[in-house]
A and B are shown apart, each in its own frame.
Chain A
Amino acid sequence: CIRFILIQNRAGKTRLAKWYMQFDDDEKQKLIEEVHAVVTVRDAKHTNFVEFRNFKIIYRRYAGLYFCICVDVTDNNLAYLEGIHNFVEVLNEYFHNVCELDLVFNFYKVYTVVDEMFLAGEIRETSQTKVLKQLLMLQSLE
């Protein structure tokens, strides 16, 4: 299952950190730095998977942003890799051509998107249509 989800830019600024495991604040910071260090040195010829401590990181780069999911070593790499893409497509639709700034200014909405699609470290909903419908319904609420 998912241990955490991170969105970071190339400079290492965190744009989203969602934790599904207990870590204290110092540890979270350390993990964020470590993930950044492992992921940014890799190029397009490398796999989208990196061993990471006792887990593995499945990541994909979109322009200047790295979307990283930390999962158990036995988890299905490709399912999570496409899980990332599915999530990105939803963000893109929801924010209409999402860019890094959308995630900064609407950070509290990004959490809602995450919770619709991933919960308790598991995939909750995969249908883009259903997720977007729900998000728009919430958007219309006061």
Chain B
Amino acid sequence: MPAVSKGDGMRGLAVFISDIRNCKSKEAEIKRINKELANIRSKFKGDKALDGYSKKKYVCKLLFIFLLGHDIDFGHMEAVNLLSSNKYTEKQIGYLFISVLVNSNSELIRLINNAIKNDLSSRNPTFMCLALHCIANVGSREMAEAFASEIPRILVAGDTMDSVKQSAALCLLRLYKTSPDLVLMGEWTSRVVHLLNDQHMGVVTAAISLITCLSQKNPDEFKTCVSLAVSRLSRIVSSASTDLQDYTYYFVPAPWLSCKLLRLLQCYPPPEDGAVKGRLVECLETILNKAQEPPKSKKVQHSNAKNAILFEAISLIIHYDSEPNLLVRACNQLGQFLQHRETNLRYLALESMCTLASSEFSHEAVKTHIETVINALKTERDVSVRQRAADLLYAMCDRSNAKQIVAEMLSYLETADYSIREEMVLKVAILAEKYAVDYSWYVDTILNLIRIAGDYVSEEVWYRVIQIVINRDDVQGYAAKTVFEALQAPACHENMVKVGGYILGEFGNLIAGDPRSSPLVQFNLLHSKFHLCSVPTRALLLSAYIKFINLFPETKATIQEVLRCDSQIRNSDVELQQRAVEYLKLSSIASTDVLATVLEEMPPFPERESSILAKLKKKKGPGAVSVTELEDSKREGGELNGGGDRGPDTASTPSPSADLLGIRSAAPVGAAPASAGSLLVDVFSEAGTTTTLPSSSLFWLLFVCKNNGVLFENQLLQIGIKSEYRQNLGRMYLFYGNKTSVQFASFTTTPQLNVQTKPVEPLVEGGAQIQQVLNIECLTDFSDAPLLNIKFRYGGALQNLTLKLPVTINKFFQPTEMTSSDFFQRWKQLSQPQQEAQKIFKANHSMDTEVLKAKLLGLGTALLDNVDPNPENYVCAGVIQTKGQQVGCLLRLEPNAQAQMYRLTLRCSKDSVSRRLCELLAEQF
């Protein structure tokens, strides 16, 4: 076989590449490139028409320069010209240039598509493949529009060459991925599925990727592929190692095709047809048997190819989750790999076992490997393998082994890599909570966690331990005793002080009988940490102190003295100062009864999904985690805190337009006398009419970036709003003010949502104001604001208005602070086209920096400084909290003061949110 000589065919190119390689410095390289660019430019501009060879050579040089990282702003036309050459080498360079330097220059697109069209109809298989590869590489919308209907024809035509079919299948796949609406398989479905039977294994290898993708989207239409795939697989699996000749790789018959077939089958449930199923089970058994046979070659390629099939088969077995026999065999096979000398295999076995652990059939079998896995956690050199071991321990954990696993994970934490500590902490916290039989163990575990890895214990974790202690009275005394002991350590983590302060403040009385932990001892212990703590912790401690005054009247004088000292009562931090002043006052003027009521023990927290579990899911990214967790909790039943209302983790059902159905109205607060209202002047006393407001009023828009203000006003009525939001919950106070001097009768307000609302007071006196409270819960993201219908009689005429309530998705933002690098990393992670929404629009309001900042802050996101390299731009980040989900959102606003325009870009982990936020915000600036 002749080897390709260096740069054959284009001497000039080889010389140029050598020159570049010989450049001693970056400057020299740039100089040489500029010289070449000038040369090429003059050749292209010259009077003499260039021949195809020269054109090819220069275009190829331009491409080389581009690939070195330099901008190329000419030569596109020459490259397009090459497409219509009838010489392969010229055409190839033309297509390559187009594929690498895709340019959405509309003029060129037309010419390019024309050339592609000619090649597709040329009946020359080489040219057809070039054209198909170009479409597959570029995959633009314009190309899909031009060719999506043509390619299926080429794919199934009887006289199409095999290599063209391969390219056509994958070309179609690319177009289907970029423009699914344009690729209509309809009449072609059955013939495409039958490509699985094609004689040419290469055609099957290519076509099956297309079929798999189509099956994922339209499983019913493609379900006939199951039996075809099974028989194809069966033929491969049962063939001898040399039967398939060209497609045998290191004695393994068609490994890649086998993997693809097994993967296609994972789009479907187990076959219903008994014969097909029997045949498939036989295949899977054969694959498992082969893993036990002595290798046919010592080469790693052989075992890798064989094991690629094995792991894919195990994935299918796990996917079916219905054959206990196969599941256990799979588990045993993986168990052998856990001790294999190849790191790759150990890694993959740990990973694959993680999913096996969630099947009820194999969970027990997985558990038998616990010692090996613990050993892996301790001894593996590659951190990613240790990470997999930790994941597996987490997945195999249940009541029977929780104590051992948690203990091992805790001891591993002491030396764990920084990169995985936070996740480990969350996992330990979750396991401790989930499998706690006695709560003292739970408390011990969490306090150990804080002691060992305090810095990595997030708020969620220590909030959770407090919630649980408050909700379980059988552990309160133990918790108080344990934190008291933990606080004795000379240097304890601030998180320990927080937990200690909170718990002693609530339950210190339970251990006060012991003179070693008498009230004053407790107080002095806490206060000895005070000066080393940050402001939020000090604030928490101050609250603990006032609770002490209630619990232990004997500490009152000491504590009052502390509160009274200048460092508290004149503290420069306003929160601390306020607490000190108020607590001091409260403790000195309130009677014991009042004090006891105000400072009563905290009521139990409402039970809901463990916030740390939510945090772990968030860390792992949407969809990435939770098979294990969900499966686990199904099997185990009730979590420690009675879980129960786990939200729909993957809200897959399309939600109806009004998703905010949770408006539970609180009792109205009755008619409060309005403050002497200058607004409340009777200027209108005509016999009333029925008014229905256009649902999009300008007032409404103002509320996107603020929470309080006047929602509506006419001559009769003014409606003010105050609202506050926290996570996925909101509370809205509506103030209905009667501006007239005449009574409104039959006053009713109805939120247009599926909720029970208690009626407001039916009479609104002239000049009076009544108030209504709405509790709002955001169940999932939404775009239509809820409506509020108001009816009343004024002077005999019925008034009827419908208003949009200013509840918009951004109200449920939690600001997220992040560094520039985090921001851009996340920005890139949200790079799917549908995750982004962008608008360019004219400024409608002042472009003043302060005004913009105020609006962006009002939006609810964190406004991030020093993130965007351009200081004129604004970037924000936040997480929208709905009941079932958290949607991460990143925003970038680029003002152009000269043009009085903005460009607004949103990237959110949920595409409907990007679109909605973009629409909402485009009207704000």
Binding site for B on A (CB under 8 A): 1, 14, 17, 22-23, 27, 29-30, 42, 45-51, 53-54, 73, 76-79, 81-83, 85-86, 93-97, 101-102, 104-109, 111-112, 115, 119-130, 132, 134, 136-139, 141-142
Contact = CB atoms under 8 A, between A and B. Distances in A.
B174 A120 contact: yes
A73 to B, nearest CB: 8
A30 B827 CA distance: 13
Given A78-B311, A82-B255, A120 B96 contact: no
Given A125-B202, A127-B201, A119 B171 contact: yes
Interface string B50-64: 000000000010011
Contact of B6 (A79, A105, A139): A105
A102 B4 CA distance: 9
Contacts of B96: 108, 111
Given A76-B311, A96-B1, A54 B829 contact: yes
18 contacts: A27-B831, A46-B343, A47-B384, A48-B344, A78-B307, A81-B304, A82-B255, A85-B301, A96-B1, A96-B3, A106-B7, A111-B96, A119-B174, A120-B137, A120-B139, A120-B173, A123-B260, A125-B205
B246 interface: yes
A92 B829 CA distance: 36
Contacts of B23: none
Interface string B91-110: 01100100110000000000
Nearest to B87: A142
Interface in B321-344: 343-344
A104 B17 contact: yes
A108 B312 contact: no
Given A48-B344, A122-B209, A142 B88 contact: yes
A46 B167 contact: no
A127 B89 contact: no
Given A78-B348, A79-B312, 10 more contacts: A50-B384, A78-B305, A94-B3, A106-B7, A121-B174, A122-B173, A124-B166, A126-B247, A134-B163, A142-B88
Contacts of A105: 6-7, 14, 17
A108 B311 contact: no
Most A CB contacts (10 A, CB to CB) among B87, B174, B245 go to B174
Contacts of A107: 64, 67
B815 to A, nearest CB: 24
Contacts of B88: 138, 141-142
Contacts of B89: 141-142
B471 to A, nearest CB: 37
B1 A122 contact: no
A130 B301 contact: no
B22 interface: no
Contact of A79 (B163, B259, B624, B825): B259
A49 B384 contact: yes
CB-CB nearest 5 A-B residue pairs: A96-B3, A78-B308, A141-B88, A120-B174, A127-B246
Nearest to A1: B209
A53 B385 contact: no
Contacts of A77: 308, 311, 344, 348
Contact of A49 (B139, B305, B344): B344
A125 B164 CA distance: 12
B1 A136 contact: yes
Interface in B364-395: 381-382, 384-385
A62 to B, nearest CB: 13
Nearest to B622: A54
B347 A47 contact: yes
Contacts of B64: 107
Contacts of B828: 27, 30, 53
Contacts of B63: 108
A101 B6 contact: yes
Interface of B is mostly: helix
A123 B126 contact: no
Interface in B1-55: 1-4, 6-7, 14, 17, 21
Given A76-B312, A78-B304, A94 B4 contact: yes
Interface of B: 1-4, 6-7, 14, 17, 21, 60, 63-64, 67, 69, 87-89, 92-93, 96, 99-100, 126, 133, 136-137, 139, 163, 166-167, 170-171, 173-174, 177, 201-202, 205-206, 209, 245-247, 249, 254-257, 259-260, 263, 301, 304-305, 307-308, 311-312, 343-344, 347-348, 381-382, 384-385, 621, 624, 825, 828-829, 831, 833
A142 B92 CA distance: 11
A112 to B, nearest CB: 7
A119 B17 CA distance: 28
Nearest to B64: A107
Contact of A45 (B304, B305, B382): B382
A93 to B, nearest CB: 7
Contacts of B308: 76-79, 81-82
A53 B828 CA distance: 9
A109 B6 CA distance: 11
A123 B343 contact: no
Contact of A106 (B2, B6, B133, B166): B6
A85 B250 CA distance: 11
Nearest to A142: B87
B770 to A, nearest CB: 52
A96 B6 CA distance: 11
A29 B68 CA distance: 11
Nearest to B347: A47
Given A53-B828, A93-B1, A119-B133, A129 B17 contact: no
A95 B3 contact: yes
B86 to A, nearest CB: 9
B381 A112 contact: no
Contacts of A49: 344, 347, 384
A120 B170 contact: yes
B206 A122 contact: yes
Contact of A139 (B4, B177, B304): B4
Contacts of B385: 47
Contacts of B6: 101-102, 105-106
Contacts of A22: 831, 833
A68 to B, nearest CB: 15
B386 to A, nearest CB: 11
B247 A76 contact: no
Contacts of B137: 115, 120
Contact of B167 (A95, A119, A129): A119
A94 B2 CA distance: 8
Nearest to B136: A120
**Quick one: which of B93, B201, B256, B260 has the most chain A CB within 10 A?**
B256
Which of A51, A101, A126 counts the most chain B CB atoms within 10 A? A126
Contact of B126 (A81, A93, A104, A141): A141
> Which of A119, A137, A139, A141 has the most C-beta atoms of chain B within 10 angstroms of its own C-beta?
A119
Contacts of B170: 119-120, 122, 124
A24 B179 CA distance: 20
A123 B209 contact: yes
Contact of B381 (A23, A29, A45, A115): A45
A129 B435 CA distance: 57
A100 B177 CA distance: 34
B206 A82 contact: no
A125 B92 CA distance: 19
B259 A45 contact: no
A104 B206 contact: no
A21 to B, nearest CB: 8
Given A46-B381, A119-B136, A130 B347 contact: no
A52 B21 CA distance: 31
Contacts of A79: 255-256, 259, 308, 312
A136 to B, nearest CB: 7
B246 A129 contact: yes
Given A46-B381, A78-B305, A142-B88, A115 B133 contact: yes
B246 A45 contact: no
A74 B266 CA distance: 12
